[in-house]
Chain A
Amino acid sequence: MNPEHRRIAAKYLADKWRWKPLEYVFWLAALAAVWLLPSHHLILNEIMITGLFAMSLDLILGYAGIASLGHAAFFGLGAYTAGIFAIRVTGDPLLGLALAGFASAGLGFVTSFLVLRGVDLARLMVTLGVALVLGEIANQLTWLTGGADGLQGVTIAPILGKFEFDIFGRTAYVYSLIVSFLLFLIARRLVISPFGLSLRTIRDNPLRASAIGTPVDRRLIAIYTVAAAYAGIAGALLAQTTQFVSLDVIALHRSADVLLMLVIGGTGYLYGGFVGALIFKGLQDVISSWTPQYWTFWIGLILVILVLIGRDRMNLAVATGLARLRGKPAPRPRTIVGDR
């Protein structure tokens, strides 16, 4: 064996999990905002929570290739679980967070079997359907959820009995930041592991993944459950830091928005959700102050432009089309010999 090849291979793999400078910048900036942006803690808290939610979608979409239009089902379940738990049992935030995570993980595990049944379009429909059903249940169970009025009277005890939530959102932001960072660390570990690598093989080619001995269904069930738990914890963070839960947490637009944010920020590198949430909420803030009613027009336009220019798959399609027009072979030739 050529030791040079060995060294290159080892270095390549090691580089994959080494922290990049921009990653430090990102988290240090998020931390610095605790002191530097005291008047923006409420919106930063919301961005951090939404970013965590979008990261949970990235785990299934960016890494495992599962497109979902109903990811708010898990966010919403987590929010309601945390809210109801605070009202009926105890206001301890960490217990509520853990419970919400487990509840959403449970729902994720059960519904993952539905998701396995189909591919892209069927998955969109199934995930959408689950979220709609859950939303209607939340709407009907007025005695438990407050229905359309929302869940009133959520009071959250100080974190660890020490850090009380304040009206400026400082504690809230720090709390969301720490929880998000810890969950991010675990997710980062997960995506660079053999498990994470196998998810990418499933995303790229489930047929081949199975042909190299990967138990495809089990891997998908596992990541779907983890992503659901993450989304549930994000929902719980929102419920606890705003001390209110409404049907909005589980609404279709929340599922759609989080997908938009992830696409804006980019899939498959974990930060896309946070970046997308920052851009999305930032744009929403800026544009809506300028034109309160039409800000979604601009968001939509930006999204369309992004998809049009930024995707190498698009480039390849264009290149192939051009080559065909000129009567030349496509850039990547493939055999089209058919056989049963």
Chain B
Amino acid sequence: MTPALETIGLVKRFGGLVATDNVSFRLEQGARHALIGPNGAGKTTFVNLLTGVLAPSDGQILLQGEDVTQLRPDLRVKRGLVRTFQINQLFAGMTPLETIGVAVSERMGHGGDWWRPAGGSPEVIDEIVDIATRFHLTDVLEERTSSLAYGKQRLLEIAVAFACKPRVLLLDEPAAGVPEADRHELLSTVAALPRDVSVLLIEHDMDLVFSFAERISVLVNGALFTEGTVAEISTDPRVRAVYLGESVDE
């Protein structure tokens, strides 16, 4: 079967520094795949290459078998490649209702529609409420995003991505900075993502990786170090040496 997302020999150089070193990676349909690696391993650069924020120096990116290497970021989103951010990237002056609504209308192709009022069509409202319910945001729909509790902002971060109807979802440390009390709510929504969405989880938190992922890829110094099932990776002594060993205190 065609992988949901594939990279072939992906390279990114910043001057003399090779941040992404010949990465050939496959994300299968419906996968629950984690990408781990020590700080500075190039995980975020890799995500930026996938989403089109950065242009690769060499190599190819295939989304559902189609070459998207040269495609603009917003067009990749329209084809179903959506990400969340490690540090919240939200719209501070808007409400969760508007934020989700904007993503929904953009996905439906109404984003450039300037004559009809936003939220005029019942299907948009239905979908906003659906998503807000799934991500436990119905109680804060009308509050300013900047005044939301951090845990809620984290939920909104994922809800916005989900509103784009991803076929491939890149979750960049979804639980980063979430207080212990709100963690369960967040992790349960992540675990409840529909199976037809292929998920790549970029994560530091090993508990989350081991509970969520079925396969794990390890990135070290920009290159793919190894890949395998959770059992293989968690018992691999080399992985322990380069990564797990040094992150015990995290």
Contacts and interface: CB of A to CB of B under 8 A. Distances in A.
B237 interface: no
Interface stretch (A8-16, A82-90, A175-183, A290-298): A8-16
A212 B102 contact: yes
Given A5-B138, A197-B101, A200-B93, A214 B111 contact: yes
Contacts of B122: 10
B126 A193 contact: no
B111 A213 contact: yes
Question: Which of A212, A216, A333, A335 counts the most chain B CB atoms within 10 A?
Answer: A212
Interface in A293-340: 332-335, 337-340
B112 interface: yes
Interface in A103-131: none
Interface residues of B, number: 68
Nearest to B177: A335
B57 interface: no
Interface in B68-101: 72-75, 77-78, 82-83, 85-95, 97-99, 101
A293 to B, nearest CB: 40
Interface stretch (A30-38, A203-211, A247-255): A203-211
Contact of B118 (A1, A16, A340): A16
Interface of A: 1-2, 5-6, 8-10, 12-14, 16-17, 189-190, 192-198, 200-201, 203-205, 207-216, 218-219, 222, 332-335, 337-340
Interface of B: 19, 39-40, 42-45, 51, 53, 72-75, 77-78, 82-83, 85-95, 97-99, 101-103, 105-107, 110-120, 122, 125-126, 128-130, 132-133, 138, 141-142, 146, 150, 160-161, 163-164, 173, 176-177
22 contacts: A5-B132, A6-B126, A8-B141, A9-B97, A10-B119, A13-B118, A16-B117, A194-B118, A195-B114, A197-B94, A197-B102, A197-B118, A198-B102, A208-B85, A211-B161, A213-B103, A222-B112, A337-B177, A339-B40, A339-B44, A340-B40, A340-B45
